[in-house]
C-alpha cells in the first residue's frame, strides 16, 4: 500500500499536498516520450508520488520503469514545478496540489511496455508536433523543456 493511498483513507477526496517525481524521456532524435493515460485519456510523461523516505531520483526511475518499461541510466534535473497550474482533481474525485520534481532522461535502455491499467499507449513526439490533449499538470514542465531545448 502506498503512502498516498493510506493518507486517502484518512482524508478522503479533500485536497492534499502531493510530491511527485517525473521523467521526460528523450530519444536520439530529440523527441519526447508521452503516455496516453488510462484515467483521463490525456498524454503526459512518466511520474508518480514519492513514498516515505524514498529519494526523488529513485521515484523517478521507478515510475519510468513501471510506466514505460525503460530503465534510466542517467537523469538530469529539469526543475521543480508547483502552484495553481499543477492543481488537479482526478476522475475519482481525489484532489491534489502537486509539487513535481521533473528530470530529463536521454540515457536509458529497455523496450517500451505500457503499464496495464495506467497507460494505454506510449509514443515519441517531436516537440513541434505534440498532441493537443496534454495532461494539464504536465504542461509547465513540457513548456520549460521546449524553451530550453528549442535553440539547440
Give the Cα separation of 9 and 115 in Å (integer).
25
> Quick one: pLDDT band at residue 149, thresholds 50, 70, 90?
confident
From the list 118, 14, 13, 12, the residue with the least C-alpha distance to 67 is 118
DSSP code of residue 26: B
C-alpha angle 94/95/96, rounded to 5°? 125
pLDDT in tens, 34-73: 999 999 999 999 999 999 999 999 999 999 999 999 999 9
Domain residue extents for the chain? 3-149
SS3 assignment, position 67: helix
Tell me: domain 3-149, CATH 3.40.50.300, correct?
A: no
- pLDDT-above-90 percentage for the chain: 95
* Cell output for 45: 510523461
Classify residue 108 by burial, with Cβ atoms within 10 Å: 0-12, 13-18, 19+.
buried
Mean per-residue pLDDT for 102-109? 98
Amino acid at each position: 500500500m502506498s503512502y498516498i493511498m493510506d493518507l486517502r483513507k484518512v482524508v478522503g477526496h479533500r485536497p492534499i499536498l502531493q510530491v511527485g517525481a517525473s521523467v521526460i524521456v528523450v530519444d536520439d532524435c530529440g523527441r519526447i516520450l508521452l503516455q496516453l493515460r488510462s484515467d483521463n485519456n490525456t498524454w503526459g510523461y512518466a511520474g508518480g508520488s514519492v513514498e516515505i523516505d524514498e529519494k526523488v531520483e529513485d521515484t523517478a526511475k521507478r515510475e519510468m520503469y513501471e510506466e514505460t518499461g525503460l530503465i534510466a541510466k542517467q537523469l538530469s534535473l529539469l526543475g521543480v514545478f508547483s502552484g495553481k497550474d499543477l492543481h488537479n482533481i482526478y476522475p475519482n474525485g481525489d484532489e491534489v496540489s502537486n509539487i513535481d520534481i521533473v528530470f530529463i532522461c536521454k540515457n536509458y535502455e529497455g523496450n517500451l511496455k505500457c503499464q496495464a491499467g495506467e497507460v494505454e499507449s506510449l509514443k515519441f513526439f517531436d516537440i513541434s508536433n505534440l498532441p493537443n490533449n496534454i495532461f494539464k499538470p504536465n504542461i509547465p514542465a513540457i513548456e520549460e523543456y521546449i524553451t530550453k531545448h528549442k535553440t539547440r
